[in-house]
Structure 1
Amino acid sequence: MFEVAGILGLIGLALSLWALVSIISSNASTGAKVGWSLFVIVLPVIGFIVWFFVGPRARKAAY
């Protein structure tokens, strides 16, 4: 049971780090980068999911 929780934790950490790197390397304004970064850091799982669907690159891909 602990192995599964550990693996899920590592996956969550990797996804959060990927989101942070993508946020920092995006062309968004500095304020938007800070806001998204704080959101992903404070609420890692929910922040990642919201960022993935609503973040700056998601809006650009929709057009």
Structure 2
Amino acid sequence: MGSTFNGLVGLIILALDIWAILNVVKSGAEVGVKVLWILLIVLLPVLGLIIWAIAGPRGNISL
């Protein structure tokens, strides 16, 4: 059960990271700022996602 739970958490984090990256790409921020946000999200998946949720640029993507 432990590995199944860990796998599910990993997939959820991956999906949220992809969603955050798409939001950054669709945002009106400058290209350099977008690149820095994407690098932060990719290199630090959980912490980068939390920082982006608090302070990151938002695009016009709706689920």
Counterpart position of 1:24: 25
CA shift for structure 1 position 12: 0.4
State the TM-score, normalized to the length of structure 1.
0.87
CA distance in 1, matches of 2:29, 2:13: 24
Higher helix residue share = 1
Distance 1:17 1:4 in 2: 20
Matches within 5 A, 1:1-63: 1-57=2-58
After superposition, give the CA deviation of every residue in 1:3-57 in whole Å (9 maximum; x if it has no partner): 1000000000000000000000100000100000000000000000000001123
Cα distance in 2 between the residues matched to 1:56 and 1:23: 6
Give the count of matched residue pairs.
57
CA RMSD of aligned residues (A): 0.6
SS for the counterpart of 2:28 is coil
Larger relative CO (CA 8 A, sep 6+): 1 or 2? 2
